[in-house]
Structure 1
């Protein structure tokens, strides 16, 4: 989903073709390699978006001794779907890192809606954390497993506190930057 949001957001600015996007992603920092985005994956996502009617071919560039380049444009349906995809990304991402493409494309969505999605997510994380703490208090641990339970408890506590901290910070940042 992130790759498709990326493609649609690029097409909101200008018509382009897959190889050009791949090249832009690799310079000056090889973001394509860091994200594991191969050329074939990029072409697959362009094809998938075209089949859904979210993008369309607007030009074919022919060059001697080179493969034809299909230049794509976003359709009206694609413009309508982009915000929905971004909202879905915020709802379903495993963590903030998974929201990156949505965060850099906030201009295509209602910030209040994103804040509401993130607040709901925050409440779920806090509720889940309360459940875990409740279970932890009921555990009866043998002496030989105390080290393991202490270690895992500290590890999970640290992860949850970090998630809560960064979600709260993200919510506040989005709210502050909407003015």
Structure 2
């Protein structure tokens, strides 16, 4: 869904060609969203079939392939808003939110702040659960204790990092 959010968000600001969106995506997000031409054009096809975008112009020049300009529909604008909120309601990884950052001006900041607060609370609950877990009581064989400690340590610090980032995002959203 991240790629679709980026496509819809970009088209909400201006009509564009898929290739131009790919260049903008790579410039903005680098390799955080894996993309190839097949995936990109497939997503354009999906969005068009859903009625979220539409072809505006097809230009054919002499020795070049067709160049199709797309625009977003009213239904696409509503879907963009819905998908941005959904990304924050179901945060599985922080990197899944990257594409949304460029289009936060399309949504209600108070609603977004509430969703970010919920995401922070969920992660803080996970931190508390890890802190409260006594690994010694889990009856793990001795040879498995250190791998479990490493795994737990990584999970804990990753969640801490997510919370810190979400708090920075919350400050940014509230300052807008």
Question: Which TM-score applies when normalising by structure 2?
Answer: 0.85
Q: Gaps spanning 5+ residues in structure 1: where? A: none
Are 2:18 and 2:41, in contact at CA under 8 Å, matched by a contact in 1? yes
Alpha-carbon distance in 2 for matches of 1:156, 1:80? 36
The ranges of structure 1 where at least 4 consecutive aligned residues each deviate by more than 6 angstroms after the TM superposition are none
RMSD of aligned C-alpha atoms?
2.4
**Mapping of 1:20-99 within 5 angstroms?**
20-26=20-26, 31=30, 35-99=33-97
Q: How far has the Cα of 1:26 moved from its partner?
A: 4.7
Report the Cα offset of residue 152 of structure 1: 3.4
Aligned to 1:102: 100
Question: Residues 43, 135 of structure 1: CA spacing in aligned structure 2 closer, same or farther, 3 A cutoff?
Answer: same
Q: What whole-Å deviation, never above 9, does each CA across 1:97-141 have from its counterpart, x for those lacking one?
A: 221111121100111111111111111112223233333364345
- For the 8 Å contact 1:90–1:102, the answer to whether it is kept is no
Describe the SS at the equivalent of 2:68. strand
Give yes or no for contact 1:59–1:72 (8 Å, CA) kept in 2: yes
Aligned length: 175
Structure-2 separation of matches of 1:105 and 1:168: 18
- Specify the SS of the correspondent of 1:8: helix
State TM-score, norm by structure 1: 0.84
How far the C-alpha of 1:161 sits from its partner, in A, is 2.2
